[in-house]
Amino acid sequence: MRTAALVATSRGGRLIREGLTVAIVGAPNVGKSSLFNALAGSARAIVTDVPGTTRDLVTEVVDLNGLRATLVDTAGLRDAGDVVEAEGVARARQSAAVADVVLMVEDRSRPRVEGGSAGRASQFGKELCVANKSDLPAAWRDGKAVEISATTGAGIDDLRRRIVAALDVEPSRDRAGVTNVRHVALVERAHAALARARDALSAHGGALPEEFVLADLADARAALEEVSGRRATEDLLAHIFSRFCIGK
């Protein structure tokens, strides 16, 4: 049913409307802040050779192949040496836990250490392994990793494409989609009502009274008319007045 296709667009619609969050995480000194700056197109984050330079979250809003994205640079994941760094590590994990995509950055020029992406399940849902420092001799290779150099910019365009691909969302705004939370609920209601009507028609060889089918069809129509604006309920009017100041 077409209503099912509309429901399926709701997540993509949310990402187009609200944007996505991309958290950049990994051990200290693997090039997270350099990658953040490369994706942001400016030197927003401080980059030094001193481990633990990034203590708090640094954010920047960018265009990511047609999608609005908030990049989040985070503190290096390790056993913290002081209370300030410990708070930074905790915030890094919290940011990764709620991000739409997590870039797990590793230094390809150094041997992989325990806790890296190799040989473990993803910790944060949609996670991409990023092998940074591809401009230096490789200490390891991983066919699943996106090889980049945050310093030279090599592989950054490919990484952008891989981030969008990981979301399984078409960034084109030309297709119809549902972005409003209330509209999503209404389309889901219409889809459920149509499914009930279809099941009622097929059950018992179509012996159920037609009133059952008509009631479900009427419910589906009412929900879709609310989406299109052809029907306004008291609840909708109350919702409008609660959100906007409308003068007489």
Report residue 185's pLDDT band, with 50, 70 and 90 as the boundaries: confident
What pLDDT sits at residue 64?
85
**Domain extents for the chain?**
18-167, 181-243
Report residue 161's pLDDT band, with 50, 70 and 90 as the boundaries: very high
Report residue 120's pLDDT band, with 50, 70 and 90 as the boundaries: very low
Q: What is the distance in angstroms between the CA of the first residue and the CA of the last residue of the chain?
A: 43
Specify the DSSP element, H or E, that contains 30. Answer: none
Exposed/middle/buried for residue 121 (C-beta within 10 Å: 0-12, 13-18, 19+): exposed
What is the assigned CATH class of domain 18-167? alpha beta
Residue 144: other Cβ atoms inside 10 A: 9
Q: pTM higher than 0.95 for the full model? A: no
What pLDDT sits at residue 65?
81
Task: State the residue for tokens 């401080």.
Answer: 46
Radius of gyration of the chain (CA): 24
- Of 34, 39, 76, 36, which Cα lies nearest the Cα of 55? 76
Secondary structure (3-state) at 22:
strand
Average pLDDT, the chain: 78
Task: State the residue for tokens 């960034």.
Answer: 171
**What tokens does 140 get?**
């390891």
